[in-house]
Structure 1
Amino acid sequence: MIYVLFRWELKPGSEQSFKEGWTEIIHRNIEKYGALGSRLHKTKDNQWISYSHWISEEHFNHARNLHDQHEEARVKMINAIAKAYPPIVMVPVLDNMVVTDPAQPQLYL
């Protein structure tokens, strides 16, 4: 099992197109290529960061190198990116993430 960290800087005004392309690619990867989910974040300094959970590095590499009917979604993402950083493949060592249901927020005040 691996996680992959991605980081981008987007062109001004291209956020919606990027999110649409990202969402389609993520669903494609989950449905067909062994991804176990992904999260997209925006930092305060306007960088976009995503991390994806994969069955294996082989599954990730296979999905990355495919050109299929989702090529339009990939183009949406690419056209929105001003700068892309190389992905970082990570192997979990310790995991203390608490998974909660956003519909049932926990209040710890």
Structure 2
Amino acid sequence: MTFVAAYWWKTKPGCETQFREAWRQGTGLIRERYGSLGSRLHYDQQGRFVGVAEWPNRATWQRAFDAKMVYDDPIVRSAFLDALEDRAEEPFLLMEVCDDLLDR
């Protein structure tokens, strides 16, 4: 059963493109190093970006979380953090997928 973790970030004005590019690169790095299945980035009505990352199971996510999962490339990490105004320190949702009707 797959597992999802959701995070949110608010960017500094004018840093949206920088953030999105760093998020795309960082998501690829997390997939390669920690075994995620990827993520989707959304923009909510409160002006925050919301990432919903999918994992093969909770145990894989937990191992990555316990290892202090970060974007390991210092340039990508710096671009990501420099674009931020505010963020959730922890995931704000952790959920088991029980029924999945998304077209892939």
Normalization by structure 2: what TM-score? 0.79
Alignment length (residue pairs): 98
SS at match of 1:35: coil
1:60 alignment counterpart = 64
Deviations 1:21-46 (CA, angstroms, capped at 9, x unpaired) = 10111111112220101000111331
Unpaired runs of 5+ residues, structure 1, are 101-109
In 2, Cα distance between the equivalents of 1:52 and 1:93? 12
Is 1:21 equivalent to 2:26 in the alignment?
no
Alpha-carbon distance change, 97 to 60 in structure 1, aligned in 2, over 3 angstroms: farther
Structure 1 position 75, deviation (Å): 1.2
Contact 1:33 1:63 in 2 (8 A): no
TM-score by length of 1: 0.76
Partner amino acid for 1:16?
T
Cα deviation for residue 63 of structure 1 reads 6.1
The higher radius of gyration belongs to: 1
1:77 aligns with 2:80: yes
How far 1:14 sits from its partner (Å)?
0.2
Cα distance, 1:91 vs. partner?
3.2
Runs of 4+ in 1 over 4 A off after TM superposition: none
Q: Which ranges of structure 2 fall in alignment gaps of 5 or more residues?
A: none
Aligned to 2:35: 34
Note the C-alpha offset of 1:15.
Answer: 0.4
Please provide the CA RMSD for this pair: 2.1
